[in-house]
Structure 1
Amino acid sequence: MTSFIKALMFVVVAEMGDKTQLLAMAMAGKYKIKQVLLGVFVATVVNHGIAVAAGKYLGSLIPMGTIRIVAAASFILFGLWTLRGDKIDDDKEKKSKFGPVITVAIAFFMAEMGDKTQLMTIAIAAQSAQPVLVLLGTTTGMMIADGIGIIGGAWMCKHIPDKYIKWGAGIIFIFFGTLTFYEAVPTKFLNPVYIIIYFIVIILGIYIAGVKFSYESQLCNLTDKNKQTNEA
């Protein structure tokens, strides 16, 4: 799997139901779709450019074996984060004195700071020898995911319940995190006792993040809201 495809795939999965996708959908209720997508593109290039640079810097300082273990743990956390869900704050929808593209870019850039897609970009870049392809992949993935959310949100809400989208994305991350752990950890830890403990912790984490403290998805609520706004 090339760096581009890997980065694209993981970002598309991570962005489904993420707060930045929800923000893009909310903005689409106020501005033209092309303006929203352009603002998302500008913010993503800058934000993920910073993330890729940070990832390459960390990759030059930390041994690859350690990076792979940290990346595996990150994927697990991203999966649990996805199961928990995201919500957007009301203040992110306040009017701005700037034009539509700059308004979207600023809001999206701020929302993406510290978000799981930015952190995941750092993790992927730290493992890759092709930072430019990582940046191209993550940027393309963000545009695809947010384009799907804005344009195809109504179709998804009609045919695919929110919880299936969220749980599908979360389980994919947990699966790849587990696979990476299996390939990265020392052999002495691959015994039945540690494996059982690992899966107990994972199941407990899934329950806490995906059931106990899960946010109700805003995807369909925003889609309905945007539809009413556009019809008004």
Structure 2
Amino acid sequence: MESFFVSTGIVALAEMGDKTQLLSLVLAARFKRPWPIVLGILVATLLNHAGAGAVGAWVTHWLGHDTLRWVLGLSFIAMAAWTMVPDKLDEDTAVQKAAHGVFLSTLIAFFLAEMGDKTQVATVALAARYADLWPVVAGTTLGMMLANVPVVLLGDKVTKKVPLRVVHAVAALLFLVLGVGVLAAA
């Protein structure tokens, strides 16, 4: 259960102010149909994080124990630094038209926006760290939903009340603690 709870917390915090959270806001404002958007985010996240988790599990089998420990420790420390850099939504990522419907447009846009994103990279690292694929994927997906569903349902009201600097600092601290903990266990 530790892998599930750690994955949920880290991704929920890391997602605050992230480009995919901004994309959620854009989708909600553009389509004004929250439930197909929420479902599109859920499916895109499950697919994306299952793939990322599989990569993390694969890395665990191919790297030696000592090498993996160093890679993971340094990856978590790098994620701590990366979390402090606020994201901007690229214009290419924003959905211009709902040619394929709200759900499919959301699924595609969200899946592509999440590629190479810090929460995807965190999922790879967490799956490698815990070697427990499904609790990590379930936790990172829940964390993603905890951060994005309120934005879709409440829009701008949520993002204006949450102090993103503090949230980013807490997420960075968690990544740093994980990184130092992994390296110290060596």
* TM-score (structure 1 length as normaliser): 0.72
How far apart in 1 are the matches of 2:131 and 2:85? 32
Tell me which amino acid in the other structure corresponds to 2:114.
Answer: E
Counterpart in 2 of 1:130? Answer: 132
Mapping 1:161-176, distance limit 5 Å: 161-176=163-178
Q: Which is worse superposed, 76-85 or 127-136?
A: 127-136
Mapping 1:74-93, distance limit 5 Å: 74-93=75-94
Deviation digits for residues 4-61 of structure 1 (CA, Å, limit 9, x no counterpart): 1121122112111111111112111122121111010110111111111111111111
Return the offset for 1:156: 5.0
Hey, which bits of structure 1, 4+ residues long, moved more than 4 A? none
Counterpart in 2 of 1:95? Answer: 97
Of residues 160, 173, 185, the one that matches 1:157 is 160
How far apart in 2 are the matches of 1:58 and 1:96? 38
Q: CA RMSD in A?
A: 1.9
* TM-score (structure 2 length as normaliser): 0.88
Report if the CA contact (8 A) 1:16-1:169 is conserved.
no
Report if the CA contact (8 A) 1:22-1:88 is conserved.
yes
How far apart in 1 are the matches of 2:45 and 2:65? 27
Q: Which has the higher contact order (CA 8 A, sep 6+)?
A: 2
How far apart in 2 are the matches of 1:155 and 1:144? 12
Q: Secondary structure at the match of 1:91?
A: coil
Aligned length: 183
Counterpart in 2 of 1:227? Answer: none
Q: Structure 2: which 5+ runs fail to align?
A: none
Q: Structure 1: which 5+ runs fail to align?
A: 185-232
Change (3 A) 1:155 1:13: closer
